[in-house]
A = this chain, B = another copy of it.
């Protein structure tokens, strides 16, 4: 826990932006939010600054902070980079992964599959995250792990919507298993390619989803 007030406020605001409480382009009124959080403007400004550096809000001098939701094109780009980063993690991990981590990946997948069959969305997400984060960690490069986690967090709210696709989940599990097979075999190229494809498909599915949303809404 850092300086807890501005830290917590930043998290809350982030959540609110992800929730869609703040629409794209909405202005973050400092005094209003300060009242709402029951603090002065100072910690709130620090929180806003933090969000600005994360790219969630745009800071216009003397004008204020405006929510900056990524558009569809930018999201596709982010998913593309996510796929590449995970592929790099997999490539490194194929050479460096420990036996214990391989067991953890198998375990996460087993529990993930169980969650799918039990229709337990929360458990599915938890185990799915454990799977991916384990690969980041086993890349053996702490900086890469951190950067990949950063993007993972940023894309989290958009990834979440994919549960709506029936049948995608079991397919996803099969892809996970194939990745682990390649990692176990120490086949860096295959592991990278499979994980890249696995994540890229998420981006594409997301694309479809957004499109259907758009046409349904307007």
Contacts and interface: CB of A to CB of B under 8 A. Distances in A.
A46 interface: yes
A56 interface: no
Contacts of A59: 2-3
Nearest to A77: B143
Nearest to A88: B84
Interface in A24-54: 42, 45-46, 49-50, 53-54
A104 interface: no
Interface bracket on A = 20 to 34
Nearest to A50: B53
Given A3-B59, A59-B2, A141 B80 contact: yes
Contacts of A200: none
Interface in A54-72: 54, 59, 61
Contacts of A45: 46
A15 interface: no
Number of copies: 2
B81 A143 contact: yes
Contacts of A1: 61
Contacts of A204: none
Contacts of A46: 45-46, 49
Given A53-B53, A84-B88, A77 B2 contact: no
B144 A77 contact: yes
A57 to B, nearest CB: 12
Given A74-B142, A77-B142, A80-B144, 7 more contacts: A49-B50, A77-B141, A77-B144, A78-B143, A81-B143, A84-B144, A88-B88
Q: In the A-B complex, list the 7 residue pairs whose CB atoms are closest, starting with the nearest.
A: A77-B143, A84-B88, A77-B141, A53-B53, A81-B144, A78-B143, A3-B61
